Amino acid sequence: MNNEIEIRLAATVMLVRDSDQGLETFMLRRNSKSKFVPGQFVFPGGAVDVNDQLIASTERISGGFDDSKASNLLNVESGGLAYWIAAIRECFEEAGALLAQIDGKDLSLSDPETNERFQGHRAAVYRGDLTMTELCRLEGLQLNFDELRYVSHWITPAGPPRRFDTRFFIARLPSGQRPAHDGGETVDSCWVTPKQAMELHQAGEFQMIMPTIANLEPLIGIETVEEAMSWADGLSDIPEILPAISLSESGVPSVFMPGEAGYEEALLNPPPPGSTA
């Protein structure tokens, strides 16, 4: 019997903005009752779903950014655009920020009536009652794929009960939008500089998992959104990062990164599926 855990495709977005403190990124704290990384601060994101894959070639939402271009950036044969769609959808579902344009301009939700209407759309998309294609048709939108920059690729190691093949993106917060947690899967949210997040984490006050920490580290020292986007534009040959976990005789897990001593052995002798949190 094959008891291997399925590795699900996923997309995550680091929303960034300029502030008096410098570059800030938006982070959400997951519900402590969640099965996946409970209580941890994360970026908006989640699994690529069937609808993301089905609508990836829809002309209405893809504009000039098509599956061929997206797949080339991700170094996959096809299906790359689904990651961009998932990233935008999850950012809307989890943070209420929608990377989209209307009549060639960034969507603004500063008008209270418009914001209320889109919060209703947000809930409908989360429930699965409204697809991104239907939302674009209903509101006359085009998803703003050009605002997303692909920056890293992480795969959950063997051991945890859930595994993801995740593409990380960075995006500028659209003006006229104010993201917030959903009150369900996520129970708190904040804007924080990468340096502050790391300092709070080291003090034990801001729980984060390794991929989150690793994606924040390059942003330390970057002062503006323009600098961050320029940094992202300069990336090439983004590697696939697959950590490895080893369990001690007492069951305590140790995580090894590629290139570290002990990595190859841990990779070849992974813990049983679902044996680590």
Q: Does 226 fall in a domain?
A: yes
Residues 120, 247, single domain; the answer is no
In this structure, the number of other CB atoms found within 10 A of the CB of residue 20 comes to: 5
Bridge partners, residue 59, by sequence: none
Residues 37, 58, single domain; the answer is yes
The greatest distance separating any two alpha carbons of the chain, rounded to the nearest whole angstrom, comes to: 61
Residues 128, 115, single domain; the answer is yes
Q: Does 206 fall in a domain?
A: yes
Question: What pLDDT, in 10s, does the model give residues 41-69?
Answer: 999 999 999 888 877 655 555 567 888 88
Structural domain for 73, as ranges: 7-238
The CA distances from residue 124 to 159, 182, 264, in Å, are 34, 13, 45
Given this model, what pLDDT does residue 1 score?
36
Question: What pLDDT, in 10s, does the model give residues 133-173?
Answer: 899 999 999 999 989 999 999 999 988 888 999 999 999 99
Given this model, what pLDDT does residue 250 score?
81
Mean local confidence (pLDDT), 97-117: 95
Bridge partners, residue 7, by sequence: 163
Backbone region of residue 170 per phi and psi (left: phi > 0; alpha: psi in -120 to 50; beta: other values): beta
d(CA 137, CA 7): 32
Average pLDDT value over all residues in the chain = 91
Residues 50, 80, single domain; the answer is yes
Band the pLDDT of 94: cuts 50, 70, 90. Answer: very high
Residues 85, 182, single domain; the answer is yes
Q: Does 2 fall in a domain?
A: no
Residues 145, 267, single domain; the answer is no
Residues 157, 247, single domain; the answer is no
Residues 194, 275, single domain; the answer is no
Q: Does 24 fall in a domain?
A: yes
Residues 176, 271, single domain; the answer is no
Which amino acid is located at 45 in the chain? G
Q: Does 183 fall in a domain?
A: yes
d(CA 13, CA 27): 10
Given this model, what pLDDT does residue 77 score?
93
Band the pLDDT of 277: cuts 50, 70, 90. Answer: low
Q: Does 172 fall in a domain?
A: yes
Q: Does 270 fall in a domain?
A: yes
Cα atoms in the Cβ-side hemisphere of radius 13 Å centred on 12: 23
Residues 92, 160, single domain; the answer is yes
Number of domains composing the chain: 2
Residues 248, 232, single domain; the answer is no
CATH code of the domain containing 222:
3.90.79.10
DSSP 5: P
In this structure, the number of other CB atoms found within 10 A of the CB of residue 76 comes to: 13
Cα 154-156-159 angle, rounded to 5 deg: 160
Of the listed ranges 3-7, 89-93, 110-114, 128-132, the one predicted with least confidence: 3-7
Length of the chain: 277
Residues 157, 101, single domain; the answer is yes
Mean local confidence (pLDDT), 200-216: 95
Three-state secondary structure string covering 15-51 = EEEEECCEEEEEEEEECCCCCCCCCCEECCEEECCHH
